Structure 1
Amino acid sequence: MEASAELVRDFVNTYSVEADADDLGTPAELALWLRERALTGPGDRATDDDLALAVALREGLRVALRRDGRRPELPVLPLRVTVGRRPELAPIGAGVPAGLARIAAAAAGDSWDRLKVCAEDGCQWAFVDVTRNRSRSWCSMRVCGNRTKTRAYRARKQGSRPRPGSNTDTV
């Protein structure tokens, strides 16, 4: 698995839809998260505006990873195109905005088509699809896949039963 895919996955997963828990709840938590991944320097501090930028990037990536036709609203980040062996995106400057730009550049990498979010509406956990045909739909077949399939089964069973109070005997 490519490191850029893991970085984007981990960034999107800083918010758990299911638990409504945010690992980036404060500017200090954002700065620490970026620093622990060597995306910013030891002296870089995050502001409330940086946190808003990070949340906009994270949720824009989540929308894009759903691949349901909705257009994500991604923030403007300090990036430039560099040309070496092939064109690449590179952050401009330093600090928290540049660290977030590194995440955006990682999303534009070769493994984008392997990144997905769980098809279970209550989950939306990002994962890297390592199947050969890229057909995985859920972060976990055991949990989210089972929930989805159980709901579909129950809906089919309910649909096949007569409604209470309906007269099924016709003359």
Structure 2
Amino acid sequence: MNSRAVVPEVDPPSSPEGLEPFDRDIELVLAFLNTCDAEKGTEVLDDPGQWQQWCIDQDLGKAPGVDAAREIRDTMRYAVSYGVRPRAVFETAWPVHVRLHNGVPTLTGIDALGNVLVAAARLVHTGHWDRIKICPAEGCLWAFYDRSRNRSRTWCSMRVCGNREKARSWRERHTTA
């Protein structure tokens, strides 16, 4: 028996004018991954009220418990950090709706976390997941999407994190003992 998680083939969701079909999925997954902010020292999932408000702000529907959200978010961040597919996330049983629109099946979650998982599954299925990265800068750890042609972007922002790290590295090399 094959134990691999099966990600269903789905068509891209319709998107607002000016957005690529998967931009909404990318934005949603990044927003979810960034519900913890190392630089600001904030954690949306520490407060059920903040988590509920985040779900409302994202127009995702009902917010499930913060414990489930934290477990899935942390698993996704781990997968992104180490360049692996989030197998444990997609082996998680979470209810979704399958709807046919003009004969085309589309998936949506029945709650906020289900919608995040559906978006992540679409990104994995279409190869966009591999472009999500976590900034390695000390104290940042912000999730971002690498839009570079050769997928070589390292920092969330070259002007901020990249510049800080390069300056720190230069100082270390040029500091006399």
Shift of 1:90: 4.8
1:10-159 equivalences under 5 Å are 10-40=31-61, 44=62, 46=64, 50-67=65-82, 74=89, 76-79=92-95, 90-91=108-109, 94=110, 98-108=111-121, 109=123, 110=126, 111-158=128-175
Tell me which amino acid in the other structure corresponds to 1:78: W
- Aligned positions, number: 149
- Contact 1:77 1:101 (C-alpha < 8 Å) held by counterparts: no
* 1:7 equivalent among 28, 50, 72: 28
* Structure whose alpha-carbon radius of gyration is higher: 1
Shift of 1:87: 8.6
- Contact 1:79 1:90 (C-alpha < 8 Å) held by counterparts: no
- Contact 1:60 1:72 (C-alpha < 8 Å) held by counterparts: no
Which SS does the other structure have where 1:122 is aligned?
coil
TM-score w.r.t. structure 1 length? 0.71
- Structure 2 unmatched ranges of 5 or more: 1-19
1:98-149 CA-partner distances (Å, limit 9, x unpaired): 3212112211223212211112132110111111111111011111101211
- Contact 2:96 2:114 (C-alpha < 8 Å) held by counterparts: no
Which SS does the other structure have where 1:127 is aligned?
strand
- Contact 1:16 1:125 (C-alpha < 8 Å) held by counterparts: yes
**Share of identical aligned residues, percent?**
35
Tell me which amino acid in the other structure corresponds to 1:144: C
TM-score w.r.t. structure 2 length? 0.68
The alignment yields a C-alpha RMSD, in angstroms, of 3.1
Shift of 1:73: 6.1
Give, in whole Å, the separation in 1 of the partners of 2:146 and 2:95.
27
- Contact 2:63 2:113 (C-alpha < 8 Å) held by counterparts: no
